[in-house]
């Protein structure tokens, strides 16, 4: 065999291995893109779930107002009892 034939065989093997390696990398990238897409969908579902479970500001304000009204009534009753006990 002459050097040109050996060079052509070596170049063919290198080309084959390079092509195989590129195919493996391409499949890996495609798998990663698919898993990334699935993870992005899961994250968006979680975002929707979490956003739906928070207490709205209006509801929170109403609850706080109701608590303070109740506390004011309790305070008024305690003041009334303290006034009766002092006489």
Residue 13: pLDDT above 90?
A: yes
Q: Provide the sign of the torsion angle of the four alpha carbons 36, 42, 47, 48, taken in this order.
A: positive
Q: Does pTM surpass 0.85?
A: no
Rounded CA-CA distance 70/81 in Å is 17
| Res. 83: pLDDT tops 70 | yes
The confidence score (pLDDT) of residue 40 equals 92
The arithmetic mean of pLDDT across residues 49-60, rounded, is 79
> How far is 63 from 66, CA to CA, in rounded Å?
5
Q: What's the chain's average pLDDT?
A: 89
Q: What's the mean pLDDT in 40-53?
A: 79
Q: Where are the domains of the chain?
A: 1-54, 55-87
């Amino acid at each position: 065999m002459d050097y040109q034939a050996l060079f052509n065989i070596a170049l063919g093997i290198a080309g084959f291995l390079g092509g195989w390696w590129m195919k493996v990398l391409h499949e890996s990238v495609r798998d990663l893109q698919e898993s990334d897409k699935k993870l992005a969908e899961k994250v968006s579902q979680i975002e929707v779930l979490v956003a739906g479970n928070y207490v709205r500001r209006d509801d929170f304000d109403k609850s706080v107002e109701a608590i303070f009204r109740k506390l004011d009534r309790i305070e008024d009753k305690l003041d009334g009892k303290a006034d009766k006990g002092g006489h």
